[in-house]
Amino acid sequence: MTQGRGEEPKSGLATCGARREREMFHRVFIGIGSNLGNRRAYYQKALALIAKLPKTRIVKTSSLYESEPLGDAKNWYVNGVIEIETSFSPPQLLHRLQEIELAIGRKRAADTKKWASRKIDLDILLFDNQTVDSRTLKVPHPELHHRRFVLLPLCELAPHLTHPRLGVTITDLLVSLKDDKRVMLLPPHA
């Protein structure tokens, strides 16, 4: 058999290399929240920085919601969820998101209380169908199914998606949710 230019038969090694280069993309949902300062601006800044990450693209973004804070915090949150595709692993993605939180000016002092006010909070809600249970990372996010401000925007993007641990859809979780914190849809240009 004759081979034209550039059509040399591939060696086993080259084929193997090509396979390694073909990256595996994961479907990931990220929860975004801000309750300090110009909340919408911080939210949009987070979107812009996530869009700039290597090996990652934003697939869908939810509407924005305004939600009553948890714990002692007084300021209401701006919340939403995005769907991304990424070839980062779960810990790599967490690291990248924490870098973005810091770049936007989130303070992570050792004495910072849980639910303290923050310019930006980025949580990995779901990562394919995977479950992760390490000291620094829990996926699905352990509070996802208790929070209306997460389930409402998530339901906009993926109503039929099944929670990997609970085995029920996001819609079912929302319908049976008992969370009396208020969550309101924000008009697009308020």
Residues engaged in binding Mg ion (CB under 5 A) = 121, 123
Which residue lies nearer to Mg ion by CB, 23 or 143? Answer: 143
- Considering the rule CB under 6 A, would residue 161 count as an interface residue with ligand ADP? no
C-alpha span between 46 and 67 (Å, rounded): 18
Least distance to ligand ADP from the beta carbon of 135, Å?
A: 8
123 labelled catalytic: yes
Q: Does 139 interact with ligand ADP (rule: CB under 6 A)? A: yes
**CA-to-CA distance for 96 and 50, rounded, in angstroms?**
9
Q: Is 149 helix (H, G, I), strand (E, B) or coil?
A: helix
Q: What residues are paired with 31 via a beta bridge?
A: 81, 123
**Residue 81 binds ligand ADP (CB under 6 A):** no
Interface characters, 85-124, with ligand ADP (x: CB under 6 A): ---------x-------------------xx-----x-xx
Told to judge if 22 belongs to the known catalytic residues of this protein, a careful annotator would answer no
Q: Say whether residue 141 binds ligand ADP (CB under 6 A).
A: yes
With CB under 5 to 8 Å by kind, the binding choice for 78 among ligand ADP, Mg ion, none is none
- CA 95/CA 84 separation, integer angstroms: 16
- The least distance separating ligand ADP from the CB of residue 156, rounded to whole angstroms, comes to 20
Q: Is 121 an annotated catalytic residue?
A: yes
State yes or no: is 147 an active-site residue.
no
Encode burial over 94-112: b for 16+ CB neighbours within 10 A, e otherwise. bebbeebbeebebeeeeee
Going from the C-alpha of 67 to that of each of 48, 107, 120, 127, 149, the distances in angstroms are 22, 21, 14, 24, 6
The single residue listed with the structure tokens 């949009």 is 44
Binding site for ligand ADP (CB under 6 A): 94, 114-115, 121, 123-124, 136-139, 141
Residues marked as catalytic:
106, 118, 121, 123
